[in-house]
Amino acid sequence: MKKIIAGLLLAISSVAYSQEAFTGANDIRAYVGANIQSKGTGVTAGADYGLGRSFSVGLQMSYLLGTKHNVNGVEKAPVGDRFDLRGRFNANLGGVMNLPEQLDVYPGLSLSLKNFGGHIGARYFFNKGFGVFSEITFPIARYKTSAAGYERLNNQFTFQIGAAFDLN
């Protein structure tokens, strides 16, 4: 019974002291997490900067730590295939959709070292400074249309999940 009451108090206090997920112009949100995709897993990190009430720009990097061995006869993925850097544009729709202020949903476009792509994600802040995020990314147009093997790393559908931070 004590555990149930403690859990309820924790849930109520986290909602009561929650932080806005996106406040608009000059808002800075950073994040770090796991990058999960076919034939590889790794880390992702980035930051978004608010330019207006409902849009932001940012930078994101991904590096795959573990990749499937021996793809097309190549034993290990080269560093160039493991790393990606992208510039992003986000439409922050939490306020537009009248979602709770601690939740933001953001579709967007990105231009990376490997492709022109899209993403859709969500952030939820528990308190000032800390929250969680989840995001999917996908290529719209690959620079190398015949990408095969390790060239498809960071150049395909990915799922990301991790911690988000309010830097204001």
pLDDT tens-digit readout, 85-111: 999 999 999 888 999 989 999 999 999
pLDDT in tens, 124-165: 999 988 999 999 999 999 988 887 777 788 889 999 999 999
Return the structure tokens found at 111.
Answer: 């231009």
pLDDT in tens, 30-48: 999 999 998 889 999 999 9
pLDDT at position 86, please? Answer: 96
Percent of the chain with pLDDT over 70: 82
pLDDT in tens, 64-78: 998 776 666 667 788
Comparing 15-24, 44-53, 93-102, the range with the smallest average pLDDT is 15-24
Helix %, strand %, coil % of the chain (to 5):
15, 55, 30
Q: Report CA Rg, the chain.
A: 18
pLDDT at position 27, please? Answer: 86
Task: Name the residue with higher pLDDT: 15 or 64.
Answer: 64
Return the structure tokens found at 126.
Answer: 């528990």
| Residue 9: band (very low, low, confident or very high) from pLDDT cuts 50, 70, 90 | very low
pLDDT at position 16, please? Answer: 41
| Residue 29: band (very low, low, confident or very high) from pLDDT cuts 50, 70, 90 | very high
Cβ(104)–Cβ(21) below 8 Å: yes
Cβ(133)–Cβ(30) below 8 Å: no
